[in-house]
């Protein structure tokens, strides 16, 4: 009888592997690299922009910047005065006491529609008179103007005109035009504030002024500086 031999191979025990030294060993190259970077990061933080001292611009750079701003402002002013506004000077005393001879003003005709009380500059359309005249709009097309010969007041559509801009003793006298007069279409009736010397719509050679002869409305007086004033 044959015997069965049992073969129980002894399992080969693999040696236990020690934990990786690269993970736990504080002397590993990885940890050393991190420890070497930390001080560098710290130094970089010390040099962040928010903590840097701002450099002041040099006097030359400041001067150049100032000149550039000044030139830009001058160019803009020239464009505005050329395309939108114009300047002029008063000659004579027909607008006293509101404006005097030598006063300088700015006018504009941009989107302009005449209104009662406006101070306007216009071409008189009188032969031999090429200069621009300056007067005040008293009435618009379709309105009736009447100058009372008794109280020397101006009436527009039957109502006395409030004229606070006149001197206390200034009265208005008709100079030969139709009185009362209805302002024609596309025209304005103008008077100077100094009625005793003003050549205006009371005179037949001027009469009512066509709107297409208006150069613009006076926006402000800028000279002399101590008399600077805007006009509504």
* Nearest alpha-carbon partner for 98 in 160, 148, 163: 163
* Nearest alpha-carbon partner for 30 in 22, 18, 38: 22
User: Known catalytic residue: 94?
Assistant: yes
User: Known catalytic residue: 175?
Assistant: no
| The two three-digit tokens of residue 161, written as one number | 């005109």
Which residues make beta-bridge pairs with 210? 187
Q: Which is catalytic among the residues 2, 52, 93, 94?
A: 94
Q: 15 exposed, middle or buried (CB, 10 Å; 0-12, 13-18, 19+)?
A: exposed
Q: Which is catalytic among the residues 53, 93, 108, 135?
A: 135
Residue 8 and residue 144: Cα distance in Å, rounded? 137
Residue 178 and residue 124: Cα distance in Å, rounded? 19
**What DSSP line would sit under 153-174, residue for residue?**
-EEETTEEPP-TTS-TT-----
Using alpha carbons only, what angle is made at residue 173 by residues 171 and 177, rounded to the nearest 5 degrees? 150
Contact call for residues 66 and 180 (beta carbons, < 8 A): no
Contact call for residues 172 and 191 (beta carbons, < 8 A): yes
- Residues marked active site are found at 94, 135
């Amino acid at each position: 009888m044959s015997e069965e031999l049992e073969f129980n191979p002894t399992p080969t025990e693999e040696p236990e592997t020690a934990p990786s030294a690269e993970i736990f060993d504080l002397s590993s190259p990885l940890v050393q690299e991190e420890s070497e970077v930390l001080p560098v990061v710290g130094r970089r933080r010390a040099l962040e922009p928010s903590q840097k001292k701002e450099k002041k611009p040099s006097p030359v750079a400041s001067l150049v910047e100032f000149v550039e701003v000044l030139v830009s402002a001058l160019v803009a002013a020239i464009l505005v005065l050329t395309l939108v506004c114009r300047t002029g000077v008063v000659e004579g005393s027909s607008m006293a006491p509101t404006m005097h001879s030598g006063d300088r003003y700015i006018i504009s005709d941009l989107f302009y529609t005449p209104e009662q009380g406006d101070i306007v500059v216009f071409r008189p359309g009188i032969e031999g008179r090429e200069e621009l005249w300056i007067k005040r709009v008293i009435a618009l097309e379709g309105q009736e103007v009447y100058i009372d010969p008794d109280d020397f007041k101006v009436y527009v559509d039957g109502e006395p005109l409030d004229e606070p801009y006149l001197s206390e003793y200034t009265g208005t006298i008709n100079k030969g035009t139709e009185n009362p007069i209805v302002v024609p279409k596309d025209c304005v009736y103008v008077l100077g504030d100094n009625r005793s010397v003003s050549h205006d719509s009371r005179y037949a050679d001027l009469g009512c002024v066509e709107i297409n002869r208006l150069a613009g409305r006076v926006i402000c007086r800028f000279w002399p500086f101590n008399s600077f004033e805007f006009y509504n």
